Amino acid sequence: MSRENAMEFFKACEEGKGWQACKEYCIINASFSSQAEPLKDITTLENYADWMSGIYTPIPNAGYEIKSISTNEDSSHVSVFAVFTGTHSEEGGPVPVTGKSLRTDYVYVMEFSENKISHLTKIWNSEAAFKQIGWV
């Protein structure tokens, strides 16, 4: 397991660089899961990384602040708790530009196999985030 790989993946994904920048840190066909409504049909890390890249169209100033990182060597997991921020200032998203901002907590739980990410679970209250930004 590599905490360094986890953080490089996290940075590339959260900065909207898409799958091309993320794939070197993941096994082929790495899986993804989340109970968040907008992500319910996404089952691969490739699709999730590209979804995150798409967020930068309506929210070009998107960013994140890492609050905590934990590593569990026994179970080959790295978790990152962060806050995602941004303003819906450009066309895109489910509604016309709102000009509203969001600040939303989330956690990535990354599972490793052979020093690469094999699965990522995202824990996120998308409903609260979408209310803040005016998407609900």
pLDDT tens digits along 71-114:
998 889 999 999 999 999 999 989 999 999 999 999 999 999 98
What is the total residue count of the chain? 136
Closest CA to 58 of 15, 10, 95: 95
- Amino acid 114: pLDDT: 85
Mean model confidence pLDDT for the chain: 96
Burial status of residue 81 (CB atoms within 10 A of its CB: 0-12, 13-18, 19 or more): middle
Tell me the mean pLDDT in the region 1-16: 92
CATH code of the domain in which 28 resides: 3.10.450.50
Q: Are 102 and 92 in contact (CB under 8 A)?
A: no
Q: What is the pTM of this model?
A: 0.95
Q: What share of the chain is helix, strand, coil (3-state, %, to 5)?
A: 30, 40, 30
Enter the tokens of residue 107. Answer: 């956690």
In this model, does residue 1 exceed pLDDT 70? Answer: no
- Which H or E run includes 80? strand 77-87
Q: Are 92 and 70 in contact (CB under 8 A)?
A: no
pLDDT band at 61; cut points 50, 70, 90: very high
pLDDT band at 39; cut points 50, 70, 90: very high
- For residue 47, give its domain range: 3-133
Tell me the mean pLDDT in the region 2-29: 96
Neighbours of 75 (CB within 10 A): 9
Number of domains within the chain? 1
Work out the angle at residue 135's Cα, subtended by the Cα atoms of residues 40 and 84, and round it to the nearest 5 degrees: 70
